[in-house]
């Protein structure tokens, strides 16, 4: 079975940092693009960051320069380091795994921890 187990969410003050982790099992991790998406109440899901199996990265415009995505293939884990957090970063953050070739068949999601940025 495919599982994406996320951790690292919580409450942080503006300007603070959090690190999210997503540990994958049941997939051949090194042939999947891993990503983070987020969804705030009343808003559509948006891309936060993605990293391909070759470690190419893409970031949503709103997080460029503040967030960093990375992956550790030996641990089947993708990370999202979030710095300089703003209240508008408050959302549920979903880990995503998509097969590099067969994305129509293999597209998996984690449960989505809450990140709240507030004073």
Residue-level pLDDT at 87: 98
pLDDT at 68: 98
Residue 111, SS3 per DSSP? coil
Q: Residue 89, SS3?
A: helix
Query: Which stretches of 1-119 are assigned E, i.e. beta strand?
Result: 3-7, 10-12, 18-25, 32-39, 46-51, 57-59, 67-72, 77-82, 91-99, 107-109, 114-117
Q: What is the pLDDT of residue 21?
A: 98
Average confidence (pLDDT) over 42-57: 96
Contact 69, 36 (CB under 8 A): yes
pLDDT band at 96 (very low <50, low <70, confident <90, very high): very high
Mean pLDDT of the chain: 96
């Amino acid at each position: 079975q495919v599982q994406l187990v996320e951790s690292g969410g919580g409450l942080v003050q503006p300007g603070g940092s959090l690190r999210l982790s997503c540990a994958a099992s049941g997939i051949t991790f090194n042939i999947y693009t891993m990503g983070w998406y987020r969804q705030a109440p009343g808003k559509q899901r948006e891309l936060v960051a993605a990293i391909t199996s070759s470690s190419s990265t893409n970031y949503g415009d709103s997080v460029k320069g503040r967030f960093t995505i990375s992956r550790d293939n030996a641990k089947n884990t993708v990370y999202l380091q979030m710095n300089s957090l703003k209240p508008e970063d408050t959302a549920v953050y979903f880990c995503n795994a998509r097969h590099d070739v067969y994305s129509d068949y293999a597209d998996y999601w984690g449960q989505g921890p809450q990140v709240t940025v507030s004073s």
